[in-house]
Structure 1
Amino acid sequence: MLNELDERIVHALAEDARRSYADIGQLVGLSAPAVKRRVDRLRATGAITGFTVRVDPAALGWETEGYIELYCRRNTSPETIRRGLERYQEVVAASTVTGEADAVVQVFAADMRHFERVLERIAGEPFVERTKSVLVLSPLLRRFSSGAPS
């Protein structure tokens, strides 16, 4: 479990992973070397799993976003669902869920026809009984993982 200082460091890195240790140190009241030691420890313990870049999918030509609810055949394990979906580059997230559906899958596609083809391929997976999909009209709010809300 992270202490308050570690959480503040993680939030700062989540806002901008390229932020300098000196800048973060000023923000949280530590020296740059002290921030580096804490970040190194957070990485070593697995609290920070890596650093990445966030890219607007539209900049890559992926302008259609949708969610697919999966209704799976009986006794389908989460691992089977994960293995079945991981080969689709259009799938950016997938989670098992409560409720009627077994999983929800977030998909980005170039256009409506592309989304439809991906939906058809996923619906054809042997573990899928049926699907239900929705398309995103306008994203209203997006937050990126940065630990607990501050």
Structure 2
Amino acid sequence: MDLVDQSILSVLHADARTSLKLLAERVGLSAPSVSERLRRLEERGVIRAFTLDIEPRALGYQLQAIVRIKPLPGQLAAVEQLVRDTPEFCECDKVTGDDCFIARVYVRSIEQLDSVLDRIADKAETSTAVVKAQTIRRRPPPFTPG
């Protein structure tokens, strides 16, 4: 990946809806050249998707929590499926260490959080932290090589 590809990614990260014409102007290439580079970045798997960033609070989700989940013996697959099937779990990572999963949950109230956690209570131990503020929003790794 060269400096032009890095510039393309930087512009798109700031605003994925940037027009091809404006993107080409910002990186100093023609629109067809930028289009070809975008196609190659997608083919190589560098760009996975052009996404929509939704503000959960605007949809009424006033609370978010980080939940550490440790399935009880023999319950790993069942817990993983419950997490997948529960829409309030918006992110979940399978991790090493004492817990098997670390998940992010968006809820409208503490009561709803209790309800979500009750769904897995008979299959896993949980440890929950309510998020006060998100210091760093999800961001990509640096575009520059090592």
Q: TM-score, normalised to structure 1's length?
A: 0.82
Equivalent residue in structure 1 for 2:95, among 89, 94, 97 = 97
AA matched with 1:112:
I
Name stretches of at least 5 consecutive residues in structure 2 with no aligned partner. none
Q: 1:21 to 1:108 in 2, by over 3 A?
A: same
DSSP-derived class of the 2:82 partner: helix
Q: Secondary structure at the match of 2:120?
A: helix
1:148 partnered with 2:146:
no
Asked if structure 2 preserves the Cα contact closer than 8 Å seen for 1:82 and 1:94, the reply is no
Distance change >3 Å, CA 75–CA 117, structure 1 → 2: closer
Using a 3 Å threshold, how does the CA distance of structure 1 residues 24 and 75 change in structure 2: closer, same or farther? farther
How many residue pairs get aligned? The number is 144
Cα deviation per residue 1:31-77 (whole Å; 9 max; x = unaligned)? 11111111122223332121111011000111110011011234766
In 2, Cα distance between equivalents of 1:82 and 1:69: 13
1:22 counterpart = 2:21: yes
Instruction: Kindly report the root-mean-square deviation, in angstroms, between the aligned alpha carbons of the 2 structures.
Output: 2.2
Consecutive unaligned residues in structure 1, runs of 5 or more: none
Moved more, 56-65 or 91-100: 91-100
Alignment of 1:58 onto 2:57: yes
Once the two structures are superposed, the pairs formed by residues 47-86 of structure 1 within 5 Å of their partners are 47-74=46-73, 81-86=79-84
User: Which residue does 1:45 correspond to in 2?
Assistant: 44
Shift of 1:144: 3.0
SS in 2 for 1:9: helix
Structure 2 distance, partners of 1:138, 1:58, is 12
1:81 to partner: Cα distance? 4.9
Is the CA contact (8 Å cut-off) linking 2:67 and 2:105 kept in structure 1? yes
Instruction: Quickly say closer, same or farther: Cα 1:66–1:149, change in 2 above 3 A.
Output: farther
Q: Which moved more, 1:115-124 or 1:59-68?
A: 115-124
